[in-house]
A and B are shown apart, each in its own frame.
Chain A
Amino acid sequence: MTSIQVDIVSAEGEIFSGEAEMVFAPGQLGEIGIAPRHAPLLTKLKPGEVRVHPLDGEEQFFFVTGGILEVQPKQVTVLADSALRAEDLDEDSAFAARERAREVLEGSHAEIDIEQAQRDLVEAEARYRAAEKLKGRR
């Protein structure tokens, strides 16, 4: 019985690695079943389920929000997206990041207080040390 090496990885870590006799993935043009010695293939994944039939044991399911599937005759690599990559979501978070930058530039950020407090603290410490030295001289 031939088998195929399956690696499911995302940017945040390895999700699955092992030998399998069959893998199913939600390709962009429809679900793909990959058996050992499949022709080299590169495709985008839709959000959906990746199913792995391991050599022994139960079928395993993984949910991916999208990604890239690379197939080589003896190896399948699923490069899963860990972030939701829906275009509108990206736009929203891009907008939020820009907003934050503007807030920072305008200087109306809640964190300034903490920064200021830290600076004050450093100054107070310096003053304390100076007082310390003066005392020693007396």
Chain B
Amino acid sequence: MAVGKEIRTKITSVKNTQKITSAMEMVAASKLRKTQDRMKAARPYADGIRRVIGHLSQASPDFHNPYLEEREVKRVGYLVVTSDRGLCGSLNVNVFRALLNDIKGWQDKGAEVDLCILGAKGVAFFRRLKTNIVSVATHLGDVPKMSDLIGAITVMTDAYKAEKIDRLFLAHNIFVNTMSQTPKIATLLPVEPVDSKELQQHWDYIYEPDAAELLTDVLERYVEAQIYRAVVENIACEMASKMVAMKSATDNAGKFIDQLQVAYNKARQAAITQEISEIVGGAAAV
């Protein structure tokens, strides 16, 4: 029967879409677990570095290090962590919105803005805005390597050391739980001093070779570790967000199929009724 052929084709096509979205949901769910583990794995290093910094700054508080000193702000830098792929709900848009507000705040104060963007979605967004993009790293994959990030990061930290930028922010998503991720913009440089009350004992290290040089090294690693953590956390957010987005897409496809099915049934019934009445009409005429 030729009736409702279009509707049937459409049902098939929506069903195919539904299969894809539900497959993507499952993939995201399984990746989410792994990325969460990776997020946890990055913690001991960051904690270790933070403890060392705490000890260092407590042992010798009179160090002057560009990473620790506040400067008058004429130019700010942002490290923006975004996802490489889309179909993950409003994850990236939330970061962009928070970031644009923040950028506007600085611009109103007369500061200029440099951006370092990690992730293809951020690149696509900020290219259209004609903002000053200084460095870029994309296609980091699900298991980001420090070596892939370090180039883009170094551009920013060098600019900070050379006093081209006076403040460095890190914009990324915080993983609250699977259902919710919130964008956050945190100050990366200058490094905020560790509260010395956290540390009970007081002692000084033996330094090899030199305390000031070591402090710079440790601070550099601290900044890198924080960025790495943010990238890993953002991937976990991406997966969680993708999972939720794909789940609702699958549900919507289901509803859509139901509606189409009803439409198809009605059309089919109408066609049958018409055929019968034609036959009956024809028979009456004879």
Listed in ascending order, the chain A residues whose CB lies under 8 Å from chain B are: 7, 9-14, 27-29, 39-44, 67-68, 70, 77, 79, 81-85, 90-98, 100-101, 104-105, 107, 111, 115, 118
Contact = CB atoms under 8 A, between A and B. Distances in A.
Contacts of B51: 70
A94 B158 contact: yes
Given A29-B208, A97-B137, A105-B133, A42 B52 contact: yes
Given A28-B209, A79-B49, A13 B41 contact: yes
B136 A27 contact: no
A82 B208 contact: no
A40 B44 CA distance: 20
A50 B42 CA distance: 20
Contacts of B86: 118
Given A13-B42, A93-B152, 10 more contacts: A13-B45, A42-B52, A68-B49, A79-B45, A81-B146, A95-B151, A97-B137, A100-B138, A105-B133, A111-B124
B175 interface: no
A65 B134 CA distance: 28
Nearest to A111: B120
B127 A77 contact: no
A12 to B, nearest CB: 6
A9 B146 contact: no
A84 B147 contact: yes
Interface of B: 38, 41-42, 44-46, 48-49, 51-52, 56, 86, 116-117, 120, 123-124, 127, 133-138, 145-147, 149-152, 154-155, 158, 203-209, 211, 214, 217-218, 221, 224-225, 228-229
Contacts of A10: 45, 146
Given A39-B206, A111-B120, A81 B221 contact: yes
A97 B133 CA distance: 11
B127 A105 contact: yes
A90 B151 contact: yes
By secondary structure, the A interface counts as mixed
A82 B48 contact: no
B48 A79 contact: yes
B208 A28 contact: yes
A41 B149 CA distance: 30
5 contacts: A12-B145, A40-B206, A90-B150, A97-B154, A104-B123
A27 B209 CA distance: 9
- The residue in B44, B86, B124, B152 that gathers the most chain A C-beta atoms within 10 A of its C-beta is B44
Given A13-B41, A90-B151, A96-B151, A101 B205 contact: no
Contacts of A67: 221
B154 A94 contact: yes
B221 A9 contact: no
Contact of B44 (A14, A82, A91, A97): A14
B38 to A, nearest CB: 7
A97 B147 contact: no
Contacts of B228: 11-12
A12 B235 CA distance: 14
A27 B208 contact: yes
B127 A9 contact: no
- The residue in B44, B45, B149, B225 that gathers the most chain A C-beta atoms within 10 A of its C-beta is B45
Contact of B127 (A93, A97, A107): A107
A97 B139 CA distance: 12
Given A9-B45, A95-B151, A100 B207 contact: no
B158 A40 contact: no
Nearest to B46: A11
